[in-house]
Amino acid sequence: MFKRLLRQAPLLLIVLGLAAAGGWWWWRMAAPEVELVLPKRGPAVEAIYATGTVEAEKWARIAPVVPGRIAEILAYEGDTVKEGQPLARLDDREARARIAELEAKAAYWREEMNRSTALTERGYRSTEATQKARSEYNQVNAAINAARQKRTDLLVTSPMDGMVLRRDGEIGELAELKDALFWVGAPRPLRITAEVDEEDIARVKIGQKVLIKADAFADRVLEAKVDRITPKGDPVNKTFRVRVVLPDDTPLLVGMTTEINIITAEHADALLIPVTALKDGKVLVVENGRTFALEPQTGIRGRTMVEVTQGLGPERPILASPPAGLRAGDRVRVK
C-alpha cells in the first residue's frame, strides 16, 4: 500500500500543481479589470453656461403711433438716419382731406368774425354775435391743430441717430400698433444679452472674461467681458439678465444667437484627474492587486476633469473609472 502511494506521488503533485494553477488563474480572472491613469497638468476653468443674442448697445424698435396702411418707405437697411427723420409714411389721404375741410371752415369763421366785429363797432350787430364768431373760429383752429397732429402721427420717424438695422413691412401692408417696422441703432458698440440661471448668478461679477461661440464662426472662440447684471431677476423663468459688451472689432452681427461661458475661476497650471475617477469624494489606487481609497481635496470641477489641490501626487496612478460596486480592498486586474 505504501509502495503504491509512493508510485502515485508524482501524479498527486501534478494534480495539486494544476489545481493551484487553476485557483490562481480563477483568482486572477475573477477580479475585475481596471484602467489606471496619471493625474496631469493643465488649465482648470470654472464657467457658467448661457445662451444670448447679439444686439446694439443703443437701439430702438420702432412701431407706428397709429394703425394705417403703408404708403411710402423712406429709409432702408444700412441707411444712416437722424433723430426725427421720417422712415415711412402711412396713408394720410383722409387726414389731408380733414385738414382741408377744417381750413375751409376756419376761413369762413375768420371772415365772419371780421365782418361781425366791423358791424358791432358800427352798432349794427350785438357783441354776443361777434363773440360767437370768434369762439367758432378758435374751435376750428384747435381742430386743425389736432388734425395736423394726427397726420404727423402717420409719419414713422426715428427716435435717435443711428443706422437702420432692419426694416419690415412693404407698401400696401396694414401696419398695426404692435408691428415693428424698423430697428434703428448705433452699429457699435455691440453687446450680448444672456439669461443666466438664478442658482449661478451669485458667481457672476462685472469684468469677468466671457468665451463666445457662434454658428457663423464655428472655428473661433471669441472673447468679451461682463458689463452689467440686471438687479431684478425673472421669477417665472428663474433667470437674471446679463449684458456682455463686445469689442469694436467683433465679427458678430446684430441678431446672431450665441453660446457663452462666463469664466468665474481659472488656474493655468492645475493638477487634473477625470471626473469619472472621483466617487463620493474619493479616488481608488492599486497596490499588490488590491484597491484602497484616497480622499483628495478638490477645486475647480469641469465637465470632464476635476482639479486636485491636495492629497494626491502627480505620479500616483488612479483608477480612471471604477466599476460599479467596486470598493476599497477588492481585488482588481490592471489593464
Give the pLDDT confidence score for residue 8 in this predicted structure: 53
Give the pLDDT confidence score for residue 1 in this predicted structure: 52
Residue 285, CA distances (Å) to 271, 276, 313 in order: 17, 14, 12
Over residues 103-117, mean pLDDT: 87
For the cut 70, the answer to whether the pLDDT of residue 29 exceeds it is: no
Give the pLDDT confidence score for residue 25 in this predicted structure: 47
What residues form DSSP beta bridges with 211?
223, 261
- Residue 258 in grid coordinates: 450665441
Give the pLDDT confidence score for residue 17 in this predicted structure: 52
Residues sharing a CB contact under 8 Å with residue 313, sequence separation 6 or more, in sequence order: 39
Cα angle 180, 185, 191 (rounded to 5 degrees) comes to 110
Fold (topology level) of 48-58+187-267: Elongation Factor Tu (Ef-tu); domain 3 (2.40.30)
Of 11-15, 95-99, 227-231, where does mean pLDDT reach its minimum?
A: 11-15
Over residues 206-232, mean pLDDT: 93
Query: DSSP letter string over 176-230?
Result: PTT---EEEE-SSSEEEEEEEETTTGGG--TT-EEEEEEGGGTT--EEEEEEEE-
By residue count, the chain amounts to 335
Fold (topology level) of 61-90+154-184: OB fold (Dihydrolipoamide Acetyltransferase, E2P) (2.40.50)
Q: Residue 127: count other Cβ atoms within 10 Å of its Cβ.
A: 10
Which tens digits make up the pLDDT trace of 81-90?
999 999 999 9
* 93-153 placed in CATH 2.60.40: no
Over residues 265-291, mean pLDDT: 88
Q: Comparing 48 with 133, which gets the higher pLDDT? A: 48
Domain ranges for the chain: 48-58+187-267, 61-90+154-184, 93-153
Dihedral of alpha carbons 167, 169, 175, 180, sign? negative
Give the pLDDT confidence score for residue 51 in this predicted structure: 93
Give the pLDDT confidence score for residue 57 in this predicted structure: 87
> What is the separation of C-alpha 140 from the centre of its chain, rounded to a whole number of angstroms?
54
- Residue 129 in grid coordinates: 354775435
Give the pLDDT confidence score for residue 224 in this predicted structure: 94
Structural contact between residues 283 and 326, judged by C-beta atoms closer than 8 angstroms? no
Cut 0.75: pTM above it: no
For the cut 70, the answer to whether the pLDDT of residue 63 exceeds it is: yes
For the cut 70, the answer to whether the pLDDT of residue 101 exceeds it is: yes
For the cut 70, the answer to whether the pLDDT of residue 20 exceeds it is: no
Structural contact between residues 58 and 186, judged by C-beta atoms closer than 8 angstroms? yes
What values do phi and psi take at 253, rounded to 5?
Answer: -120, 155
Over residues 70-78, mean pLDDT: 93
Which tens digits make up the pLDDT trace of 112-163?
888 888 887 777 777 888 888 888 889 999 999 999 999 999 999 999 999 9
Q: Comparing 159 with 327, which gets the higher pLDDT? A: 159
Structural contact between residues 77 and 181, judged by C-beta atoms closer than 8 angstroms? no
Average pLDDT for the chain: 86
Helices (H), the chain: 2-30, 93-122, 127-153
Q: Comparing 124 with 276, which gets the higher pLDDT? A: 276
For the cut 60, the answer to whether the pLDDT of residue 24 exceeds it is: no
For the cut 60, the answer to whether the pLDDT of residue 5 exceeds it is: no
Over residues 206-235, mean pLDDT: 93
Pairing of strands 33-34, 333-334: parallel
Of 3-7, 108-112, 209-213, 318-322, where does mean pLDDT reach its minimum?
A: 3-7
Residue (of 62, 87, 65) closest to 74 by Cα position: 87
Residue (of 298, 259, 328) closest to 48 by Cα position: 259
- Residue 109 in grid coordinates: 369763421
Q: Comparing 227 with 33, which gets the higher pLDDT? A: 227
Which tens digits make up the pLDDT trace of 253-270?
988 999 999 999 888 889
For the cut 90, the answer to whether the pLDDT of residue 228 exceeds it is: yes
CA–CA gap between residue 175 and residue 240 (Å, rounded): 33
Give the pLDDT confidence score for residue 26 in this predicted structure: 43
